[in-house]
A and B are shown apart, each in its own frame.
Chain A
Amino acid sequence: MATVDLNDVRKVYAGGVEAVKGVSIAIPDKQLCVLVGPSGCGKSTLLRMIAGLETISSGTIAIDGKIVNAIGPTERDIAMVFQNYALYPHMKVYDNMAYGLRNRGTPKAEIDSRVRSTAKVLELSGLLDRRPRELSGGQRQRVAMGRAIVRNPKVFLFDEPLSNLDAKLRGQMRVEIKSLQRRLGVTSVYVTHDQLEAMTLADMLVVMNAGLVEQTGAPLDIYEKPASTFVASFIGAPPMNLLSLSTGSSATELERKLLGLAPPGGRAATLGFRPEDAELVADAEDRSGALMLPATVEAVEPVGAESFLHCSAAGNRIVIRVGGRTTAKPGDKLRITATAEKLHWFDQGGRRLDSASPSF
C-alpha cells in the first residue's frame, strides 16, 4: 500500500546542468507507472531521486504520503532492479536474495521461507546455490527481481531491467513482470526508452522529453490523443506521420486544401495521422471532409501480416500500413485518404489542437 507523489521535482547538477526541470506526477496505489523518453530526458535521474540515490535539488517526493527528501535509500523501504542487475558476485543466489532481509534483522526461519517461496515463484529453486556468474542473462534478471520481491517493499523501481536481454526473452519477461506486479499489487515505477515496453506494461504512462513531462495518461489515451508532435512521433511504431504545412501566402494549393480540414482558429501548422489510419484509393474523385493526399512510393517493407509503404507526399516522408501483401512498387503514384476524425493537428509550437475544445 503506497502512493508516490512527485511535486515540482528538479535536479540541477554541480555544473549547472538541469536534468529534471520541474516534474509533478501522482502515482496511485498498486499502479505500474512507466517513465518513457529518449536517452538524456531525465527519466533515470528521476527514478534515482525516488530511490534516494540522487539528491533532490528542489520540490518534494512523497512515498505513502510521507515526504522522503531527507531520508536515505536505506530507510525508504523501496526495492530497485538495476539495468546491469547489480547482483553481488561473491554471494550465492540465496544470499543475494536474503541480504536485504538480513540487514533488516528478519528472523532466520522467516528469511529461509521467504527466499524459498520467492525462488519458487520465479523458478529459481534449483539455482539457489549458484553464483551470479554461473547464471544466464535471463536467470540473473530473475534473481534481481527476486531480490526486490522477497523484501516486500512499498515501491518497486525498475531501471531499464530488460535492455540487456535478447528480443525473445525480453518479450517473455515483460509479460512476467506485468503479471507479477498485478499479483503482488506493489506500486511500481518503471523506466524504459522502449515505447513498446512502455505501452504494454503501463497502467499509467509518463512521456518525458528534455527534463519535462510531455504527457501523462493511460497508454491508449496517449496513443490516440498525443499532446504534442514529440509524443506523436515517440509513441507508436512506425511513428505517426507528421506533415508540416506552410501557411499564408507561401502555402501551395494542396497545403491550403489540407489546412481546410483543420480545426478553426488558423493556428494549425502540422498535420499528423497514424500509418494504420490511412487508406489507399484508386479513383481520382475527392471525398469531401476527408484527407486526400497524392503520394509516390519510395520503398516497400513487407513484414508478413502487413506491409509498410514508405512514400513521399507534400514534401514529407510518410509511412502507410497496408494489411497483408501489396502489389505496390517503388515509383508508383498513390492517393491516400483518411477520415477527418483520424487526423491530428498541432500548432507552430508542436502542441495538440483539439477540435473538441476550441478554446485550446
Chain B
Amino acid sequence: MLDEETKLTPRVVFPNKVLPYLLVAPQLAITLVFFYWPAGQALYQSMLRQDPFGLKSKFVWFANFRKVLADPAYLNSIKVTVAFSLATAIVAMAVALLLAVMAEKVVRGKALYRTLMIWPYAVAPAIAGMLWLFLFNPSIGSLSYVLRSLGIAWDPLLNGSHAMILLVSAAAWKQISYNFLFFVAGLQAVPKTLIEAAAIDGARETKRFWTIIFPLLAPTTFFLLVVNTVYALFDTFGIVHAVTGGGPGKTTETLVYKVYNDGFVNLILGDSAAQSVILMVIVIALTAIQFRYVERKVHYG
C-alpha cells in the first residue's frame, strides 16, 4: 500500500538504484542497435570512398557530399521528390477532407461508410502500388483502356509526367483513409452551436465551411501536413519500387529511392551513405521548422 505522500509525489521513487536502469534497458538497447549504430555507420561510411571491388577504402572527409551535391542526377532527384511529396500530401488531404465532409452529411449508415473508407489503410504500400500499376498498365490496365478510349495517349512506361501522376495517385490513395479518419474526428470536434450561430449570422453552407469549419480544423490539418509530408518523403519507397522503379529515365526517382539505387544496385556505398545523411538532416530540419513556426499559427483555445 502506498501512503498519501507517495501517491501525491509526481515522480515514482524506486527503492532500488539499479532497477530503473534495468527497466529502460530493453528500449535503450533497441534504439542503440537499430538507430544510433546504423546512423553512426552511415555517417562514417559517408566519409569513405571504396574501390569498385570493395577491397580497400579511403577516408575522404566531405568529398562524397561535395560530389553528390554537384551531381545533376541528385539535383533532379530533389526536384522530383519535392514535386512528388507536395502533390501527394495535397491530393491525399484534399480528397480526404472532401470525403469526410460528405460522410458527415450522411444520415443513415454513417458507420458503414466510415468503415469502408478506412479499409484502404490496411493495404501494404507495395500492394497498393501493384494495384494501381495493373489498373493503369498501358497494355492490360482496365483504366488505361478507358483513358485511351477518351483520346488520351496514356503511357506511364514512356511518359515521365504520366508516371508521376500514377505514382502520386497510388501514394495518395493509400494515405486518404488515414487522413479521412482524422478529418472526421476533427469535424466532429467543431461545436455544433458555432455552425448554427454562423447560419443565423447569414453564412451559407460554403461560406460556413471556409470561414468557420476550415479554420477550426487547422490543428488537424497541420498535424496531417506533417504526417503526410513525412509519409511522402520516406514511406513511399515500396510504391516507387513497385510502380515505376524510378523510371522512365529518372523522372520518378525520389531521394529515398536514389539512396537504394546508388547503394544497393550500383554499389556506390560512399555516395549512398552521404545521401542518407543529407536525408536525415532534411528530416530533422523539416520537423523543427514545422513545429516551431507553423504550429504557432494554429493554436487557440
Contact = CB atoms under 8 A, between A and B. Distances in A.
Interface of A: 51-53, 72-74, 76, 78-80, 82, 84, 86, 88-90, 99-100, 103-104, 131, 133, 147, 151
**Main secondary structure on chain A at its contact with chain B?**
loop
B139 to A, nearest CB: 52
Interface stretch (B63-71, B192-200, B246-254): B192-200
Contacts, number: 62
B207 A88 contact: no
Contacts of A72: 199
A74 B194 contact: no
B300 A103 contact: no
Contacts of B301: 89, 133
Given A51-B200, A82-B196, 12 more contacts: A53-B199, A72-B199, A73-B196, A73-B200, A74-B204, A80-B200, A84-B191, A86-B194, A88-B197, A90-B218, A103-B202, A133-B300
29 contacts: A51-B196, A51-B200, A52-B199, A53-B196, A53-B200, A73-B199, A74-B202, A74-B203, A78-B200, A80-B196, A80-B200, A82-B197, A84-B191, A86-B191, A86-B194, A86-B196, A86-B197, A88-B194, A88-B198, A88-B212, A89-B216, A90-B300, A99-B211, A100-B202, A103-B201, A103-B203, A103-B207, A131-B300, A147-B201
Contacts of A86: 191, 193-194, 196-197
Contacts of A73: 196, 199-200
Nearest to A103: B202
Interface of B: 191, 193-194, 196-204, 207, 211-212, 215-216, 218, 300-301
A52 B301 CA distance: 29
Q: Which of A86, A89, A147 has the most CB of B within 10 A?
A: A86
**Main secondary structure on chain B at its contact with chain A?**
helix
Given A84-B191, A90-B215, A74 B300 contact: no
B239 to A, nearest CB: 36
A73 B203 CA distance: 10
A89 B193 CA distance: 12
A121 B64 CA distance: 71
A79 B193 contact: no
Contacts of A151: 201
Contacts of B212: 88
A74 B195 CA distance: 11
A53 B196 CA distance: 7
B197 A80 contact: yes
A318 to B, nearest CB: 42
A131 B300 CA distance: 9
A84 B191 CA distance: 10
A51 B195 CA distance: 13
Contacts of B197: 80, 82, 86, 88, 147
A74 B191 contact: no
A72 B201 CA distance: 12
Contacts of A88: 194, 197-198, 212
Given A86-B191, A90-B300, A74 B211 contact: no
B274 to A, nearest CB: 45
Nearest to B214: A90
Nearest to A157: B200
A84 B192 CA distance: 11
Contacts of A79: 200
A80 B193 CA distance: 11
B199 to A, nearest CB: 5
A125 B211 CA distance: 24
